[in-house]
Chain A
Amino acid sequence: MSQINQKSGSQSIGQRRWKKFKTIKRGYYSLILLSIMYGLSFLLPILVNDKALIVRYNGQYSFPAFTSLVASFPLIDQFVSVFQSGESLGQKGNPGQARYRDLQQQYEQENGDNFIVMPLYPYGPIEDITTDGNTAFMEPWTASDGEGPRIMGTDENGRDVFARMAYGFKVSISFALILVFLEYLIGIPIGGLLGFKSGWYDLIGQRIIEMWATLPILFLIIIVVSFIQPSFILLVLLLALTAWIPITTYIRAEFYREKSKDYVAAAISIGVPTWKIMFKHILPNSLVPIITNFPFAVVAGITSLVALDFLGFGLPPPTPSWGQMLSSGLQNLTKWWLVFSPMFALFVTLIMIVFIGEAIREAFDPKTFSRLR
């Protein structure tokens, strides 16, 4: 007995699972790649943007892309203005937002000390036809005069498809992560309570949940959206109204099983309060279904945002979102890149998450099948 303990006891169960997870290559690499991509997506304003990284005009430096990077974080955006007028940078007849790509050409022709450094991909996700040089339905890899190629062309409003796709990634993942966090926040205590109390609590509670599940979410969203400008947080909250229900099912079953074990009886007998038993003793032992479900919940979150945007009841219009891109693709079926780009992004993202989920599931699965052949 002691020998066995020494062998497996040198590693905690968490370590063993992590080790097994790492052996499942496609899941492991997907996790690394996706984490890097999501991390980078927060730097998008200085990687993919129509705002310049560095502007030097008449000896003065400004960094509009970094300003918009700061402004891309919620709450801070209230205090930062990304506006910089064209005239203040020597763009004649443009009191509106400066057009940095034009300015860059202008400065080069002037051959003076002024210069502009543009981001890696100098197109923004929401600059449209109203900005000079943008035309609707540009084919992929074409460019207007003197500008770099548009990797994936432009949409019906002249907005850059690649930029929208990239920004859409950040929006989608963030949306899904926050949604899943809320799901767990609501679902775990409720499911835990049902499983732990069981009996009549469970019976009545489940009926109430069944009723709650019929809440017509789409209807609610459509009505709310027709009155209030939909926002990121509002949509997350509305979807979270029913999205927590499947979580309770998992947690309930786990708690139901765990509570009959001796350590719970011991805890009850020495008078540990119920909430402490639930969250400190049972919950850590019931995490497996939550963890294995996590990637799939993220997939569901991304898919529902895409679906809402596709129907036109999602994030407000200029926000870059894959669903909106898909629906404009459906309206312009002959412009194939409009469907291909968001679809490609969606496929790749979801597949990577599913790979991660499959690997986690395998890592947590103690079953190995042995059979005769």
Chain B
Amino acid sequence: MLQYFIRRLLFAVPTFFGCTIIVFFIVNLAPGGPYEQQVQALKAGSGFGIGSESSAASKDGAATIPPTALAELKRYYGFDKPVYVRYLIWLGLWPRETDSYNVKLGEPRNVGQGQYLIVEKTANGTYSIIDKDSKQSVNGVWTAENSVLDSTGITQLRVFKTEYAGILTGHFGNSYEYREPVIDLIASRIPISLQFGVIGLVLSYVICVYLGIQKALRHGSTFDLISSSSILISYSIPGWALGLLLLVLLGGGSFFDVFPLGGLQSREYETLTLGEKILDRAHHFVLPVIASTIQSFATLTLLMKNSLLENLSQDYIRTAFAKGLKEKRIIWLHAMRNSVIPIAANIGHIIGIAFVGSFFIETTFNIEGIGKLSYYAILSRDYTVVFAFTVIGVMVNLFGAIISDFVLAMIDPRIRFR
């Protein structure tokens, strides 16, 4: 058993690399990436100080952007290297260049924090880098490189530091769009999606388990038939579409003004007392929580119902009845314990809910959660964010399944994985 899970974990490693390679290569080789978008923006004459020139010049765009600037830009996004090197850098298995400065031979160059560097050519053609103040060689820390620019053939000397920083060292990089570390960006959005996920999850489990039990106990009754129909109806509706309908009905647009149109809190949220704050949150949460949980209702309830029904038809229940045990005791103590197993096994996927979010729900209700962040990262080609979400998604998938199986094996001694 332990062997089985160790094997599963070991298999997760190559799978993880395979997954990230696929996504990384597709995303990187896709045309219209951040570098090209930036060049487009520059050509359009924004942000490079060429807007003042005549419009004829900016029409002939490429000529107005100095090739050195293009090369800088390319280097900034890391596109000056082949894609497999970029992948290794992203992983943290290849040195990442940081603090790159253009230098001229023999001239001191300010590299920040009051440090000045002088680059000189040695007899055998390599470069020596010397700290101007201490007169000591800093070749170990800094690297000098003569790079030839693509189109013009102009060579440019620059110094840079290197470090191994990638996802394996916990370095996810900075978002191109928001100019802040991806980790911070995601961390700031998780609480929002988490609140939803957890509230929705707890609610749906409580309701579904209870409903499932009632349906199993009254199998075939009118209550069972009616609730089955309504569950099927709820199952067939995409949650976000229902959310849209609820917004029109109850959001005050055309019919009733019961719930707010979206967002997480009212404008005057900060001025409210704690009790009012909770009420305000709850008020904003009602519709999105309904929309995000409605579809899991059907599967959960029917799972619960069928599993309880199946257990109730087992011989050990027959025996318990024959022994003269009380019905309540049989159902709640004997049948229930076996019936919750398939439901409890879902636990691995629960973890995913908090991290994945649903950008449909978040778009519909205008909530700045994690789903919306990942969606807009794709739209704006914010690659570092896209990759971070890929990693999260892959991890959730891989480990969610393993954890589910593990929990299943823990709570059900009959289950043996080999």
Contact = CB atoms under 8 A, between A and B. Distances in A.
Contacts of A347: 233, 236-237
A223 B30 contact: yes
Interface stretch (A67-75, A119-127, A351-359): A351-359
Nearest to A212: B22
A43 interface: no
Contact of A214 (B236, B254, B310, B393): B393
Given A214-B394, A369-B219, A353 B236 contact: yes
Interface residues of A, number: 46
A351 B321 contact: no
Contacts of B11: 203, 207
A48 interface: no
Contacts of A353: 236
B317 interface: yes
Interface stretch (B12-20, B63-71, B81-89, B203-211): B12-20
B403 interface: no
Interface string B222-247: 00000001001101111011001101
Nearest to A373: B327
B232 A354 contact: yes
B384 interface: no
B31 A216 contact: no
A193 B92 CA distance: 37
Contacts of B318: 372
B192 interface: no
Given A303-B238, A371-B313, A211 B18 contact: yes
B139 interface: no
B213 to A, nearest CB: 14
A279 interface: no
B394 to A, nearest CB: 6
A334 B232 contact: no
Nearest to A304: B238
State the main secondary structure of chain A at its contact with B. Answer: helix
Contacts of B404: none
A325 B398 CA distance: 37
A73 B404 CA distance: 48
Contacts of A358: 232
Nearest to A213: B397
B22 A214 contact: yes
Given A214-B23, A214-B390, A207 B18 contact: yes
Nearest to A222: B378
A328 to B, nearest CB: 11
Interface string A73-104: 00000000000000000000000000000000
Interface stretch (A57-65, A257-265, A338-346): A338-346
B248 interface: yes
B155 to A, nearest CB: 35
Interface in B1-48: 11, 14-15, 18-19, 22-23, 26-27, 30-32
B360 interface: yes
A223 B236 contact: no
Contacts of B219: 369
Interface in B376-412: 378-379, 386, 390, 393-394, 397-398
B248 A333 contact: yes
Contacts of B379: 222
A218 interface: yes
Nearest to B14: A207
Contact of A336 (B236, B248, B312, B364): B248
Contact of B232 (A216, A218, A307, A351): A351
Contacts of B238: 303, 306-307, 346
A200 interface: no
Contacts of A351: 232-233, 236
A334 B393 contact: no
A211 B317 CA distance: 44
Contacts of B360: 307, 310
A369 B393 CA distance: 40
A13 interface: no
A326 B248 CA distance: 11
B253 interface: yes
A84 B222 CA distance: 59
A299 interface: yes
Interface in B295-333: 309-310, 312-313, 317-318, 321
Given A207-B11, A211-B22, A214-B390, A333 B397 contact: no
Contacts of A220: 26, 30
B397 to A, nearest CB: 7
Contacts of A210: 15, 18-19, 397-398
A216 B23 contact: yes
Given A207-B11, A346-B241, A371 B248 contact: no
Contact of B244 (A334, A343, A371): A343
B312 A371 contact: yes
Contact of B27 (A219, A340, A369): A219
Interface string A196-233: 00000001000110111111101110110011000000
A343 B245 contact: yes
Contacts of B14: 207
Contacts of B261: 333
B95 interface: no
A205 B353 CA distance: 27
Contacts of A267: none
Contacts of B317: 371-372
A350 B236 CA distance: 5
Nearest to B322: A372
A336 B253 contact: yes
B325 to A, nearest CB: 11
Contacts of A310: 240, 360
B22 A215 contact: yes
Given A226-B32, A350-B236, A336 B254 contact: yes
20 contacts: A207-B11, A207-B15, A207-B18, A208-B18, A211-B15, A211-B19, A214-B397, A215-B26, A216-B23, A218-B378, A219-B27, A326-B241, A333-B251, A339-B248, A343-B244, A346-B237, A353-B236, A354-B236, A367-B310, A372-B321
Interface of A: 26, 203, 207-208, 210-216, 218-220, 222-223, 226-227, 299, 303, 306-307, 310, 326, 329-330, 333-336, 339-340, 343, 346-347, 350-351, 353-355, 358, 367, 369-372
Given A226-B32, A334-B253, 4 more contacts: A219-B27, A351-B236, A354-B235, A369-B313
Among all A-B residue pairs, the 7 with the closest Cβ atoms:
A350-B236, A211-B18, A333-B253, A336-B254, A214-B19, A354-B236, A371-B312
